[in-house]
Each structure stands twice: as structure tokens, then as C-alpha cells.
Chains A and B, each alone.
Chain A
Amino acid sequence: MTTGSSTPGRGHCGRFRPLGVSRREMLSSCLSGFGAVAASALIGDRAFGGSDSVGDVRSGIPHHPARARNVIFLYMDGGPSQMDTFDPKPRLSAEHGEPFAMQVERTQFNNNGNTFGGPWAFAPGGSCGTPVSDLFPHVRQLADELLVVRSMTSRFSEHTNANYFLHTGAGLAGRPSMGAWTSYGLGSASQDLPAFMVVNGGLIPPGGMECFGSGFLPASTQGSILLPHGDGIANVGSRETDAGAQRRKRGLLASLDEEFAEAVGRDDAVESAIRNWELAYGMQTSVPELMDLSGETPETLALYGVDSTYVPTATYARQCLLARRLVERGVRFIELTCPGTGNDRWDQHNGLIKGHEQNARAVDQPIAALLTDLRRRGLLDETLVVWAGEFGRTPFAQGSDGRDHNPFGFSIWMAGGGVRGGTIYGATDEYGYKAVDRPVEIHDLHATMLHLLGVDHKRLVHRFGGRDMRLTDVHGHVIRDWIA
């Protein structure tokens, strides 16, 4: 790992005064740049946890050889229908319009109609033949990259709880997001970008920013919002109207800060703050550079659909392209939120056909392009791509033409980053209602994601409120069958 350009030749770590050995070991092991700053925030928290377990845990990372360095989480807000995407159910179509044959659990709206056969045809994709519906023709071509999990379950059937659960492993706000845990555990490989970035297509999920929050972890681990247009990051654009003003200000500030740092005995907090200001200056350059797509070839732009006439596709294309650029820059965890299509996310309580078609249209081509582009640049093997909503949808109708929330069994997929592509894991019943073969919990997904990153989910802990907290709480199993 290289060191920051503003302190050529040495990492930040060496300047910490002796404050306790384990933490120093953790710091000097790998961190620099942004990661060092995150770590310095931790230094400030030292011993407030009541023990030194945190440092010991982090110093051991990776706990085992990592299969992935980065995660791109394609969050499908609102809950896509499994029966209409990756889990074909012929019997559902056969019994379309008939009373639903299984016992129905209470749903959010409890306005349950008859069996609702999927409106879309399925076809096998790739050489593996994994069936994918006509909603995802582009992704279907890459079926050999996909590990489709058809037996995912959630514990919540309401968006906000389920979103918190999917993102943080708990159904209420206040826990750190999986991106925050990743950033906490691994630090950043980037000099001038945060370790956890959320490329916001427009739809912040129900539950708000807490879905990307750091909870009780240091604030430096929280997701930073990047917009796929304009400046990208808040306050990253200099407001100086006079070109010399920033140089002038920076010069005076540096001299005042240097004297202050000296006057306070080169205190860590002050030194870190000075370094953060340097990083902030750096981001004024690095973020515009990140956002500038002019260096991408016309072929690449077309592959993603950046100029698509369908605006949500163009937006998501920029998000996916930015995700690749963020991976290239060492950002650990990148989450993409959905662009609005005017259909209330994937949450089709009614108007399933129009809503799902438009939502799929927005993301299908960009996602396929992202997988293709990562593959051809040699980045897919070290980047874990996860596609998931907070729950699935019911195989019976809500009203006449919608589907209600269904946490009992739904599909997600993963690609790259050490997962076994071209395979299908688990199954729902004949109607796609409930997971029956090898049901999987969100905790298992989290445990396996961390595992692929070289982290033992049971050992990535942070003491808070009297407990050693984990992303997986007291749950979670690594699913070995998912790993190539």
C-alpha cells in the first residue's frame, strides 16, 4: 500500500506517540491515507470500550486469505419478485387465478387475492443454463457469473425494518451498516476517498441514511453519499472565486496549524485533523477526477447505457460506471441505490407488470455492463457483486395485479469475489412462497460476505453498551457452498 502524496515517503502511522501496543500494531500493519484517518478516530476512542479487544481483533485481519477486496452492493429497493426474476414457478402459472393453495401468512396489507402466475417467460442463460426471466435479458447472458440464491429469508415484512435488517443485521436504526463494518475491519485502500461510498441514484431507502450509518462505530466508517452527477460529494467544490485565494489561504493555514501542532506537543488529534484537511483538499481534485467520465471510451459508455434515452437507465449506468471507477480507486464497499422510475421502487403492490418492467429496464443493461467491464479488466475476481432486495414478493396477488411483501423466501444473486458462478443454491416451494431447501438468513449472507473479504464475522467485534457487537449479532453461518 502506498502512502499519501502529501507526506511522501512515510505513512501517518509512524507519527503516533506510544499509546498502547496492540493498537499501534493494528495501525502500522497496513493502514495509510484515509484508512489511517479512520484509525486515528479509533485512537481517540481507545479504552472507552472497557477492554482492548477491538484492537486485538482488528490487528488479526485478514483472519484468513481474502477472496475479495471490494464489494459492490446493488441494492434493489422495495423487494423485487423472485417468481418474476430468478425463480421460475410453472405451477404458479398453471394455477393462475385460482385460490392460493397454501396457508397464507399475514401480509403487510392483508388484501390477498388469488394465485398470480408470473407474467414473464424464463430462458436459460450462459452455459450453465440458469433460468432468468425476460426482465433481465442482459444479465441473463452473464448467468455463468451468477450464484443465484433462491432461498433467502428475512425476518421483517415491512420496508424500513427489513432495510435496516438487510443493511445492518438488526431491524431498527442504530447499528452499523455492512459497509461500515467492512470499512472498520479493513480500512481503505484509497488515498483520497472514503472506504464506504453510496452512489445514490435518487432513492434513499425507507429508513434513510441510517441504512448506511456507522452506528456505534467511528463516524469515519459511515457511508459517504456520492451523487452520480454534478460535484458528487457535499462541499467538495471549492467556493473560491479568486484562483489564488485557496493557495493563499492554504499557505497561511498550514503555517498557523504547524505552530499550533508544535504548541500542543504534536498531539495526535491535531495532527490527524491537519492531515484530514489535506485529504479534504485532495478530494477537491480526486472527486472531480472520479466524476469526469470523459476518459471512458465511447464503447464503454455505450456498454453501460450512459446515453440511454430512458433516463433511469442512464442514471444507473453512471452509477455502475462510477462503481467500477471507485473499485479501481480502492474504495472497499460501494452501494448503489436505485434510480426512481415513478413506480415506487420495486414495491409493486399493484401494477406489477409496468413497475417491474421499468425497474428492470433501469438496471439490467448497466448491471450486465458492470459485470462485463469488471471481468475484462480483471477486477471481477477481486470484487464481490451482490444483488438483493430487502425481501421478495408474494406468489398470490395483492388486489388484482400486484404482489405484497414476502420475507419467507426470495432470490438474490452474487458474482465475482470468490463465489461459485453459474450455480443455483436453495429453493422455494412450488409456488415460490417459502424457502424449503437450505433456507438462508440475512445473517448468513453477511457472514459469508465478510468471509470472502478475509474476515471472520465472529471476530469482527466492537464493544458498545456493554456488549461485543457484531454485524451478525449472535447469528450467521458462512455458506461454504457459495464459495468457489
Chain B
Amino acid sequence: MSGVCWPASAAPPVDYGRDIRPILAARCFTCHGPDASSREADLRLDDPHDAFRDRGDGIVAIAAGDPHASEMIFRMRSDDPELRMPSEGQPVPEAEIALIERWIEEGATYNEAWSWRPIEAPAPPTVEDEAWVRDPLDRFVLASLEEAGLEPAPPADPRTLLRRTSYAIVGLPPSPGALDRFERDPSPQAFANEVDRLLASPAFGERWGRHWLDLVRYAETYGHEFDYAIPHAWRYRDAVIRAFNADVPYDRFVIEHLAGDLVDEPRIDPVSGLDESRTLTGFWWLSQGTHAPVDVALDEAERIDNQIDVLGKAFMGLTTACARCHDHKFDAISQADYYGLSAHLKQSRRAVVEMDPGGVIEAARMKALSDRRVVEDSIIARAVLTAAADGDPAPNREGDDPDTFEDFVEPMPIGYRATGQAFARGSDERPRLERRDGGVAMSPPTVATSRAAGEPFAGTLRSPSQAIDRRYLHQRVRGRGSLRVIVDGYHLDERNALLFEGFIRNIDSPDEFAVVTHDLGRYLGRRMHVEWKDPGPGFIEVDWMLASDDPTPPQQDAPESTVAALTGAAVDALGETSIDVPAPVSVLAIEPGTSWTEHVRLRGDPHARGDAVSPGHIESLDGAVAPPGDRLALAQRLVSPEHPLTSRVMANRIWHHLFGRGLVPTVDDFGALGSPPANPPLLDHLADRLRQDWSVKNLVRDIVLSSTFAMSIEGDPRAASIDPLNTLPHRANLRRLDAESIRDSMVMLAGRFDPHLGGPSVPIHLTEFMTGRGRPGASGPIDGHGRRSVYLEVRRNFPDPFLQAFDLPVPTTTVGRRTGSNVPSQGLAMLNSPLVHELSAAWGERIAQMPGSTNARIARMFEEAYGRTPSRSEIDRCTAFIESASQAGGSDSAAWGELAHVLLNGKEFLFLR
């Protein structure tokens, strides 16, 4: 880590993480690794303390510095089948033994991968050319260039720099006005002003929010066969955009993703009043979804695999999901770590929560409760019904195993949770009086009820999880709403009930209780919970719930409402209360569930149980401290300043987006198989800066204002041999615009740009080539109503063909670095797609209507699309083109539309210098 880069000739020392661990993982760890259940001879070779331990008679597996005294080497070379290791299978190849020998000779240092090491705060190095330094980060870059014997590229001209900056920060071209302004005054202060203006624009959040959406495989449908919609996904997208615009500290942003439902003080959006913290947890549920899984346990294992994959890659740059079937072969991630993470998810729930923007619904509930209390008290005061309300609740079940029974003596028994405002939280919210049969009736005293405050409130009640050990689930309910049984977190039966027939039941029995029976025979042994949903108008009351082997529900006399023949104004007031309750806002989020024992699954097979594991973390990263009890604790570990990955990975992502190439090019893999950073001190410097205030905007700003960012693409010719990939970097990278920037720029040039932020997505425009199941019934507008691309619907099975041609990623898992493909379909799209033709024509029409000479109009177009003024020769050629196009018989604006089409096809539009 000390040098900036290795001298080309010297062989680097053997590195445990890079060189040795993979060998040991392949040859030794099965019996001498982290998995205690398969360990032989009580020896761990992955743990130096154990590997160096005296095993009696002075025998040690590894004697640091002395391969000859290392039993391991002796055993690997032994010809004696009794002694030779590994005891089964092929002997270890001599080349590998020699490498291990060298490593032992060099001290057998168990240094983990570079990215596991603590982040240092390296002092910015001294450089020869002090004048080049604008930001401390420049010192790290320049020092490495000076060491490599390279000159940094000269600064880009002001127009090029501003165009580059504008796309980098907001994903849109700079206006001709801004270009003029900056060209006249290209001072550092003027540049800083431009950068601040861009950072303050809401377009920043749209640009950087879209980068983030790539990491969380953002989509609005589940894909698979029918491409069902993911409910309310766009609210997550909007919360991400708002978070980037508000510059929510990244540590907070991470915590909210993992555990926004558990934070003490949720972050409330000042405009919408929505709970942003909880909305961000929606990322957990954006995976693909399979309907009718024959093996629901396997289906859950795949869902969790994807969640852990995204968790690992997006936040830590680790391929954690590799450890599903075996200990990670290259990185220090054990299978137990994986299932420790899995445990967090098995004890959480996917929930469409009913949000209460600004707390207005809760206020209405409190008022309704108190109003009702006044009325009810006046009736009860007449002492008619008090007797019925007194005393112990009547037993209302036949004897059965109490473990499988819930009789709702409390409206919210331990382990039950409600979202929304409908369900009663405390016993004082019961009983409830209602008008009935010409009198007054009292609700059964021991029910879970969603109308304590009245029927207009919406909400969902969730039971604790339990193993399905009886075939039948009976429950006695009434109301107008729905209930469902959820097995192993599987929810797509709400769209396709195959294999889960009847698991979701609508209840329409407002007066009489009825027993609903679920046959769970197919899912014996699986995990389940029950959800009762009150959609708003309507209610649900549950008297009891019983698991049984008997398909017939118990016969019994459940307590019916006591009816008293009362009348009067107070009784009338019990009737239809017309409370004005705003509808809640539905948001897809995570909810705490029931503590659940997870097991390691042998070979990743959900049916092959290994050791039990607690909700955990990655032990090698977080050390031997106690595993976090919940997701919030897990998230807090992740953003602790000591965590070696979180700030490094994010700082590297920011660098990647600004330069087109991360310091670690494998932005989602900081493990041993990823690429090490070209300039480790620079990455640590940036990571250290990020973790000071966790401000993404500050780091973007500092980097953009550096001399490094301002370099032109014209590189030092010597770099062709010294640094052909420009890793240091010594110049800017020429890059193609990303899909969204191309489309958004065209929409802007066409004058169609709608700057409106957020909201439901614009339906995708369908072509005849987009066929298959789940095809939307209606096609969206060609120009997407001028909305930015981030607001176009993301349907997994029907991706926007234009954006797809330009590498919009397939939303399956984290994609921190998009493919930069270069294919003829891009040419076809630009030449012949209705989108580009429509927008070219609109741009031409706008130009045709502008006052001024032909020259001035041509110049305007070059400025708008390319960020520069045209050369004399270009003006001449374009003028000739316009004349020729006009002579061909088209209108004036059609001729300008033709020129617009050419300029948009120009590679100068598509590429960024």
C-alpha cells in the first residue's frame, strides 16, 4: 500500500488474499476451513492463530518464515498415502506448493484482500508541479503521474469542460447562454459557480438517482412469464431522487435502505409528508418474481439470494451471494455469513404499508375515537350494557394446542404488528357499540378489530410467523376486507393464485362471523403468517385463529354481540359517522417480522439444513463483536467509519461516474477477483473525505473542481506504453453518452422537455417487435410526454427499445458499470426510429421559427447539440445542406429538421470529450 504503483520489474510479494487463499479454499478449506461441521483434526488453515498453533511435539501446520518446519508443506509433498494431504483427490500441484512455500518464507502474513484493510487517511504527497494542484486529490494523481513519468493532459477548453460537467452532474447539455458566460469568464470562481448551480438543480437528483437505480435493479414489473407490476415501485424511485437532491448523508441513506422502518426518527419529505426512510426500504423488493413456484422454499431462497447479492454488491462491493452454496472461494465470506444475512430477511416482511402523510389520518383517528368515546360513554352510562362488557372474556374455542391458537384477548397480541391507522392498538379501543337490529350491539370483547375508530380507516394486521405444523388453519372473522396466508414470504399469488388457490380471501360478511378455513397441506413444514387487510371503506374483525389437523372447524357458541333495545339521539349518532379521512399513500416497504431461526443450507439447497445461525453480518469485516440483532444494527455496522468497504465503494462509484472508469474498475467487486485500485492512496483519500460528512454533493463538487477532472482527452503520447488504459489517470476518457442522456438531450433540443419531478411513470411506447405475455394493453407516447428517461416505465419484459439499444441495464442485479456497447442497432435507432425522427423534426421546427440568419441558426444548433460554435467550413456545408434540402421540395422547417437529424446522428453529439 505504500508505493503508488509497483515497479514494473519487481515481483510483488506473495499476497494471501490474491494468491494463497484461492489455493487453500480449493484444496484445504473443506476440511480445514471456517465450517466447523466438516472440520477435521480440529485444524483451521484460514485462521492464523490455529494454523500457527503448536499441535503437540512442536508440530505446527504453518511455521511462519520456515517452510521446512511447516507440517502442511511436508504433508502436501508426502508420498505416504496415510500422511499425504489432501487425503482424498488429486495431490496439490507443485507450482501451488511452491507458492505457498514462498508465502510461508515471506512470513505467512494473513493479509486479507486490500479492500479488507482499514481505510487510511494518507497525507497528500508532495509534487513537483505545485501550481497544478487545485484540490488535495490532485496531489495523489499528479504524484503517481510524476512517478510514472507522465505529464497530465492540458486543461480542456471551457466549452468542452462545461459540457462534460453538465452531463456529469445533471445528465443534460449546457445551455448556449451558460456556455457563452463561461467562455467569457473561465475563471475558477466562475466554474465553481456553474458547478454549484448544477448541483442545486433538481436534475442532479434525477441523474444521480438513476445511477443509484442501476445498483438496486430498479424495475416496475416482476418479469418472468406475465411481467406483473411491482406495486408502487415509482415511489421508491422518487424517494431516491429526492434524497440525492437533498444530499441526504450517504450513511443515513444506507441505513434507511436497510432499515428505514426501524430508525428512531424517520425522515419526512417536507412536501409530500411521506416517510422517506421507510420508502427507501422498498429496494429490498425490486427483484424478479416467479409465479406458481412448485418449490416455494426454493423460490424464497432465490429471492433472498438476489437480495443478498444486491446488498453485497451495491453497498459493499462484495459478491456475497457466492457464499450461498459454499464458503466464498476468494473472499473471506463464509456460508454462515450468508445465512446470517438471510436470517435478517426471513424475519422481515414485504409490506405494502399505508402511509399517513403529515399524520392527518392519525389525527382524524384520534378525533374519531374520542368523538365515539363520548357517544358510547353516554350510552354505556345508561348502564345497559356495562354488565356485558365486564368480566373475563368467554372461552371461545374447543381445547387445542395453545401454541397454535390466538384468541385476541388483546387486540394486538405480542408479535402482531399493524400498519395503517385502522387496527385497534389497545384494549381501551374496544368494545365498540354499533347500531343493530333496532338497538345497540356491542362487539365481542375479544377480537382484533379495524373499526375501533370507524370504518373509513385503512390498515393491515400481520400475525407472527410460525411453522405450518397442522394442515388446516381456521379463523373466525367478519367484515368487509380480505385476509391471506403468506407462505415463505411468497406474495405473487395476489396476481396468480396457481398453487396457492384460496390463500387470499375476500370477506363480505359485515354482521355475522364466519369461519374461514385454509388448507395448507401442500406447505406443511413451511413458514407462514397471516395478513388481514382493511382497504379503507370496510373493516375486519378476527375473533380467533386455530391451527388444526381437522378440516372441520370447531363447533362452538362464540359470543355474539349483545343487543339491547335502545334508541335515542346518542344511538343514532352511532350510525354512519361521516368522518372525512384522507386516503393513505401505499408504499412498498420492509416490516419487522418474527424472530426466526435460520440454518446454513448445504450446497445452497433450501431443504438441506446445516447448523443454525443467528441474524448476522460478515464476520471477517465486522470482527468478533456480537452479531447485530436486527437490520438497523446491521446497517449501522455498514456505515461505521471503520467499515473498510462502504465509503470506499461509494467514493469509487462517484469517481466512476465522473471519469467513466472507477479507480477500482470492477465497481461492484472489491473482492480478490476484482481489480485492485490503480492508486490505492487516492481511493483511501476520497473514501476518508466521504466518511467525514457523507455528503455525495460535496465529493462530486470537490472532484469536479479538481485539475484532474479538468484535463482534456489529449493524452501524453508516452502513455501508450506506460498507462494505455489511463488508470492513473493522465487525461480525460472519451465516452459515449449514456442512454438517458442521449434521449433527454434530444427531448430538450426538441423543445419538448418537461422538467416536472417525480410521479407515476410514463407508459412505454410499444413497437411491433415488443410482443409476448404481459404486453401492456396500451402504448405510451413516442416522446414520453417530454419527461426525463428516468420517469419512463421500467418493465422487465418490455424494456424501452431505444434506451436498451444504448445499454440501459437489464434489472436483474447490481450494475454499477454499464456495458458500453457499440452496435448497429444504435445506428438504426438514431437513423430510423420514430422517436429520433419526431424529435429531430421538432428541433428543426423550433430552429426554423427562431429569428436570425441561416448562419446564426446553424451556430445555435451546434451550440445546443455539441456545446461549441461551428467552423466556417461547417457553416458552409450545413448551409449548402439546407439549400439542397429546401430545393428538394420540403418546407423550411422540414429542411431544418433534416439538418437536426444529421446533427443528432453526429458522433460529436453522442460522445463526450
Contact = CB atoms under 8 A, between A and B. Distances in A.
B885 interface: yes
A172 B796 contact: no
A276 B823 CA distance: 6
Interface in B509-547: 522
B720 A207 contact: no
Contacts of B826: 273, 276, 280
B226 to A, nearest CB: 8
A45 interface: yes
A20 B827 contact: no
B819 A269 contact: no
A110 to B, nearest CB: 8
Interface string A22-58: 0000000000001001101100111111100000000
Interface string B305-330: 00000000100000100100000001
A238 interface: yes
Interface in B594-623: none
A160 B224 contact: yes
B569 to A, nearest CB: 59
Interface string A187-215: 00000001000001011101111100101
Contacts of B773: 204, 206, 208
Interface in B654-706: 665-666, 668-669, 671-675
B827 A277 contact: yes
Given A48-B817, A206-B225, A465-B319, A256 B906 contact: yes
Q: Which of B736, B772, B807, B913 has the most CB of A within 10 A?
A: B772
A248 B906 CA distance: 14
Nearest to A218: B821
Contact of B734 (A253, A257, A264): A264
Contacts of A242: 888-890
Given A48-B817, A202-B771, A269-B734, A255 B827 contact: no
B767 interface: yes
B319 A467 contact: yes
Interface string B732-776: 001110000000000000000000000000000001110111100
B312 to A, nearest CB: 10
B877 interface: yes
Given A252-B881, A269-B736, A238 B720 contact: no
Contact of B820 (A41, A256, A265): A41
B832 A106 contact: no
A220 interface: yes
B906 A37 contact: no
B823 A37 contact: yes
Contacts, number: 250
B724 A20 contact: yes
Interface string B206-244: 000000000000000001110100000000000000000
A44 B733 CA distance: 11
Given A256-B874, A264-B911, A224 B736 contact: no
B812 A173 contact: yes
A236 B673 CA distance: 41
A353 interface: no
Contact of B288 (A173, A218, A269): A173
Given A106-B294, A465-B319, A47 B665 contact: yes
Contacts of B820: 41, 44-45, 269
Contacts of A108: 292, 294, 498-499
A264 B827 CA distance: 20
Nearest to B819: A219
A470 to B, nearest CB: 15
Contacts of A234: 767, 769, 801, 825, 828-829, 833
Contacts of A249: 898, 901-902, 905
B910 A239 contact: no
B471 interface: no
A160 B890 CA distance: 51
Interface residues of B, number: 90
A206 B903 CA distance: 40
Main secondary structure of the interface of B (DSSP, over half): loop
B831 interface: yes
Contact of A158 (B293, B675, B837, B877): B293
Contacts of B888: 242, 244-245, 248
A238 to B, nearest CB: 6
B257 to A, nearest CB: 20
B519 to A, nearest CB: 13
B424 interface: no
A50 B910 CA distance: 28
Nearest to B662: A48
A157 interface: yes
Contacts of B666: 48-50, 466
Contact of B827 (A41, A158, A233, A280): A280
B911 A269 contact: yes
A273 B771 contact: no
A37 B827 contact: no
A213 B810 contact: yes
Nearest to A224: B825
Contacts of B813: 174, 465
Given A235-B832, A276-B824, A277-B831, A17 B720 contact: yes
B78 interface: no
B905 A219 contact: no
A337 B489 CA distance: 34
A41 B807 CA distance: 12
A245 B822 CA distance: 25
Contacts of A213: 810
Contact of B824 (A37, A45, A207): A37
Given A108-B292, A218-B819, A270 B669 contact: no
A47 B725 contact: yes
A245 B674 CA distance: 49
A18 interface: yes
B470 to A, nearest CB: 20
Interface in A248-282: 248-249, 252-253, 255-257, 259-261, 264-265, 267, 269-270, 272-274, 276-281
Interface in B797-844: 797-799, 801, 807, 810, 812-813, 817, 819-834, 837
A280 B826 CA distance: 8
B828 A159 contact: no
B812 A466 contact: no
A37 B878 contact: no
A220 B319 contact: no
The 3 closest A-B pairs by CB, nearest first: A280-B827, A204-B772, A219-B821
Interface of B: 223-225, 227, 288, 290, 292-294, 302, 313, 319, 322, 330-331, 498-499, 522, 665-666, 668-669, 671-675, 713-714, 720, 724-725, 734-736, 767-769, 771-774, 796-799, 801, 807, 810, 812-813, 817, 819-834, 837, 874, 877-878, 881, 884-885, 888-890, 898-899, 901-903, 905-908, 910-911, 913
30 contacts: A34-B824, A38-B823, A45-B820, A48-B675, A50-B666, A159-B225, A172-B302, A194-B824, A202-B771, A209-B799, A210-B797, A224-B825, A234-B769, A234-B825, A234-B829, A235-B825, A238-B832, A244-B884, A248-B881, A257-B908, A259-B874, A264-B713, A273-B907, A276-B823, A276-B827, A277-B830, A278-B827, A284-B828, A465-B313, A466-B330
Interface of A: 17-20, 34, 37-38, 40-41, 44-50, 106-110, 157-161, 171-174, 194, 200, 202-204, 206-210, 213, 215, 218-220, 224-225, 227, 230, 233-239, 242, 244-245, 248-249, 252-253, 255-257, 259-261, 264-265, 267, 269-270, 272-274, 276-281, 283-284, 463, 465-467
